[in-house]
Amino acid sequence: MRSELETAGALSEPKAKFMGTANAYVHFAREHYALYSYVFQGRVQGAYGSKEGKAVWNALLEAVSRVSGKDDDTASTVAIWSFLHGYATLEHAGGFGTSGPKGALELGLNSFMNHSEHSPLPNQDVRPRNTSGDRRSKR
């Protein structure tokens, strides 16, 4: 996966680099889903998955940061990585049904590029919701 992202990331124009990296990510997931899944499983230090996962993160971080114009744009990179991972997972599982995603990948990627171009994303600290399964209110 690393080599596919590095090849796509060799483009110098920021938007082309971003689109190339994002499309390489999804293409790899389509063609090698078992290996793609392994890359993101178990973060055992020194294991193949952890090294490849870090390389994927770095490739996305560089591509996203070049488009957003923000150094080390972690927030936008997390959003794009979540989007790409969700898209690849839904596609593999047949989640788009027989009608397909109808251009959703391109829409999502273009929305990020257009938003970054017109208004920088604010740095906001969004607190995670209670994910423990306990729905009782904390008083």
| Whether CATH 1.10.357.10 fits 2-117 | yes
The predicted model gives 6-25 an average pLDDT of 89
Is the pLDDT confidence value at 51 over 80? no
**Model pLDDT for residues 82-135, shown as the tens digit of each residue:** 999 999 999 999 999 998 999 999 999 999 988 887 554 444 444 555 555 554
CB-CB neighbours of 70 under 10 Å: 17
According to the model, what pLDDT value does residue 104 have? Answer: 94
Is the pLDDT confidence value at 14 over 80? yes
According to the model, what pLDDT value does residue 69 have? Answer: 92
Burial classification of residue 60, based on how many CB atoms lie within 10 Å of its CB (0-12 exposed, 13-18 middle, 19 or more buried): buried
- Look at the alpha carbons of 72, 63, 29, 96 in this order and tell me if their dihedral is positive or negative: positive
According to the model, what pLDDT value does residue 10 have? Answer: 83
User: Do 1 and 56 contact (CB within 8 A), yes or no?
Assistant: yes
